[in-house]
Amino acid sequence: MAKICEVCGKTKLKANKICFSHKAHTYRQKPNLQKIKVNFNGVAKRINVCTSCIKANKITKAS
C-alpha cells in the first residue's frame, strides 16, 4: 500500500542527514498516516488520512 494521504495527496519526501564532516546521506520522510473510518459520499469507508487533515477537520468521521 502506498504511503499517500487520500485527502490532500501528501506523499513521502526526500531529505538529507548531514554529519559533522558535512557528508549528506539521503533518507525518506514519510507522512504520519492514520487509517480511520470516514463518511465518504454517504458510505462509511476506511481510508488513509494524514494527521494534519484530521486536525484541520477536512474529513467527517463515521461512528
pLDDT per residue as tens digits for the range 10-55? 999 999 999 999 999 999 999 999 999 999 888 999 999 999 999 9
pTM value > 0.85: no
Say which CATH superfamily domain 1-63 falls into: Ribosomal protein L28/L24 (2.30.170.40)
> Which of 37, 34, 33 is CA-nearest to residue 62?
37
Q: What are phi and psi of 55, to 5 degrees?
A: -65, -35
| CA 29 to each of CA 32, 38, 44: distance values in angstroms, whole numbers, following the listed order | 9, 26, 30
Q: What is the pLDDT of residue 16?
A: 97
- Give the C-alpha separation, 54 to 46, whole Å: 14
Q: What is the pLDDT of residue 41?
A: 82
